[in-house]
Structure 1
Amino acid sequence: MIVRIMGEGQVRLADGHLAELNQLDDELLAEMENGDGPGFRRTLTALLSRVRALGDPLPDDSLEPSDLILPAADATLEEVRELLSDGGLIPEA
């Protein structure tokens, strides 16, 4: 799976990591629904950190189609709301 982090680039991520990332995505969704700004920021940072740690960066000149697009680390709660699907940022595994 190819994951793009907006403003950073793409990483190749094994599908087996989706369950772990979905847990963070569920937390992020709950924090957004509750308007928990500090929790949202903490969980978004954790989610992006895990994607970076688990994924293998693609070269900057690579133009692979992204299977998943995640917001930039400095994205606001409102900006992330616009990216959400019914199931959050990450599809259920």
Structure 2
Amino acid sequence: MIVRIMGEGQWTLADSHVVELSKLDDELLTEMEGGDVEGFRRTLRALLDAVRRLGEPLPDDALESSELILPAPDASLEEVREMLSDDGLIPG
């Protein structure tokens, strides 16, 4: 799977890592719904760190189609809310 972090680049992740990312996505959604800005920041950071840790970065000149697009680390709660589907940032 190809994941893009807005403003940073793309990473290739094995499909087996989707479970870990989905757990963080569920936490993020709960924090957003509850208006927990501090928790939202912490969990967004953890989600993006997991992509960086588990994935292999693609070269900057690679233009692959991203299956998943995640917000930039400094995205506001409102900006992330606009990116959400009913399932959160990660479908499924």
Measured after TM superposition, the shift of residue 4 of structure 1 is 0.2
Residue 85 of structure 2 corresponds to residue 71 of structure 1 = no
Aligned residues: 92
Measure the CA separation in 1 of the matches of 2:38 and 2:27.
12
CA distance in 2, matches of 1:44, 1:90: 12
Equivalent in the alignment of 2:55: 55
Shift of 1:43: 0.2
- Could you state the TM-score of these two structures normalised by the residue count of structure 2? 0.99
Amino acid at match of 1:70: L
In the aligned structure 2, how far is the partner of 1:15 from the partner of 1:87? Answer: 18
Distance 1:91 1:19 in 2: 11
Gaps of 5+ in 2: none
Q: What is the letter of the counterpart of residue 23 of structure 1? A: K
Displacement of 1:39 after TM fit? Answer: 0.2
The aligned runs of 1:13-92 (5 Å cut-off) are 13-92=13-92
What's the RMSD between the two structures over aligned residues?
0.4
State the AA in 1 paired with 2:44: L
Q: Which runs of 5+ in 1 are unaligned?
A: none
2:10 — aligned with what? 10
